[in-house]
Chain A
Amino acid sequence: MDQSSPIPLDKLIVCTHCDAVFTLERPQVGQRAICARCGTVLITPRRKAGLQIIAVSFAITILIIAATVFPFLSISAAGTTNSVSILDAALAFSDGPLVALALTTAALIIFVPLARVLLTIYVLVPIVLDRPPARGSTQAFRLAEALRPWSMAEIFVLGCAVALIKISDLADVAFGPAFWMFSGLVVLVVVQDNFLCRWSVWKSLDKTQTS
């Protein structure tokens, strides 16, 4: 109908939560653009965010691998001790149909967070270096964003706290090195998530691809 519509699509920004349209006004670094109707944050540019996110992502990768391998928690009661790693905890559901649950748990607390940081590194490194985006960057970033609600490392940490309180009157609980790594990791995951301005990433993926 109106194929050659006079609407300048590049000058518009739409809130994905409430579908309100605004004319695009890029906020200054440190400021935020917020939907005037529903209050959703639309753009949050940060200075050197790309580099910081890459650094944090590498730290997260190392911590995830280390936290998975080292002992996580150990308990002892009446001379018997048992220490487990995060992988053990995830694979606790190991008989019969509960295997599916074991795999899901392992995915939610280890593999999804790991996949997300690796995808983020893959997408952001070329952008920060002012190179054309790597092959399949858009698909990679789309996947990273789709996985976002399924990354549950922080929930696992709170789960640990509840479990520890429940166990503590039954036996003595000791923290392994992995416990502290995992706690640090959770802070970094939250930092990484909040530093990342999705709008800016998509913008740079777009710019570099069409030119």
Chain B
Amino acid sequence: MEVAGQNTNIISARDLGVVACMRCTQVWPAGTQACGRCGSAIVSRDHKSLQRVWALWLVGLMCYVPANMYPMLQTRTLLSVQEDTIVGGAVELIHHGAVGIALIILIASVVIPLGKFMAIAFLAISVKRPSSVSNHHRQMLYEVVEYIGRWSMIDIFVVAIMSSLVQLNTLAAVNPGRASLFFALSVIFTMLSAQAFDSRMIWDVRTRQEGAPLDE
């Protein structure tokens, strides 16, 4: 594996007086407004991005509440109609002995979304005030959040597949509940929130606070 450049004294583009296009990585002199190669807007540090992060984060969190209160699935069988929320459905599965699937569902639709909210909030706070977590770990956390965010959609797809497939006339039918809409919105807004975050700011804190004691 080749490393482009020396490991020692790495400087950031901003300190060198240049700015890179975040889309196509072309380097321009500092102050360039738009990339001459791909046309994307260029900013050295998008400080307003934190506002966008928090706004989208809040909308995502607000959508996550009804996503858990309303039923996700409505199962109609010959004898009964049953409406399950996300957690209720998982509890039901545990009663039926399917602990494994219940765990997958709980992790995918409760643990990961909540973890994402916390991780994004932590990252957004950590660029403002010094944190004891190293830049490498925070960068890794950011990449995990960006990568895993999409996978929460799995719940929506499960509901879609089940409700289109299980349509056996009077015998049994599964229909999507209102929560599915809110859950999808919540996932989409958290993805947008994570994308709005400018990860270059993670590395600025270090340079700015170099030598300053960590007030922990």
Q: Would you call B5 an interface residue if the criterion is a C-beta within 8 Å of the partner chain's C-beta atoms?
A: yes
Point out the residue from A3, A14, A206 that lies within 8 Å of B29, measured CB to CB. A3
User: Does the CB pair B13–A19 fall under 8 Å?
Assistant: yes
Q: Does B39 contact A (CB under 8 A)?
A: yes
Nearest-Cβ distance from residue A70 to partner chain B, whole angstroms: 15
Are A2 and B17 touching (Cβ within 8 A)? yes
Question: How extensive is the interface on chain A, given as a class?
Answer: 35 or more
Chain A's closest residue to B152 (CB) is A155
B2–A77 touching, CB < 8 Å = no
Q: Is B111 an interface residue (CB 8 A)?
A: no
**Chain A residues with Cβ under 8 A from B184's Cβ?**
101, 104-105
Cβ of A167 and Cβ of B162 under 8 Å apart? Answer: yes
Check B39 against A7 for contact (C-beta < 8 Å): no
Closest to A157 in B: B157
A60 within 8 A of partner (CB): no
A77 contacts B171, CB within 8 Å?
yes
Q: Residues of A contacting B1 with CB < 8 Å?
A: 31-32, 34
A77 near B38 (CB under 8 angstroms)?
no
- The B133-162 residues at the A interface (CB cut-off 8 A) are 135-136, 139, 143, 146, 149-151, 153-162
A152-211: which have CB < 8 Å to B? 152, 155-156, 158-160, 162-163, 165-167, 169-171, 173, 198-199, 202, 205-206
- Residue from the list B17, B22, B24, B168 in contact with A77, Cβ < 8 A: B168
Please, what's the 1-or-0 string for A47-71, where 1 marks a CB less than 8 Å from any CB in chain B?
A: 0000000000000000000000000
Cα A90 to Cα B7 with chains together (Å): 49
Does B196 make an interface contact (CB < 8 A)? Answer: no
Counting from the closest, the 9 A-B pairs by CB-CB distance are: A22-B5, A159-B157, A14-B20, A92-B164, A19-B200, A163-B161, A202-B24, A33-B4, A22-B4
Residues of A within 8 A of B (CB): 2-3, 5, 7, 9-10, 12-14, 16-25, 27-28, 31-39, 42-43, 73-75, 77-78, 80, 82, 84, 88-93, 97-98, 100-101, 104-105, 108-109, 138-139, 141-142, 145-146, 149-150, 152, 155-156, 158-160, 162-163, 165-167, 169-171, 173, 198-199, 202, 205-206
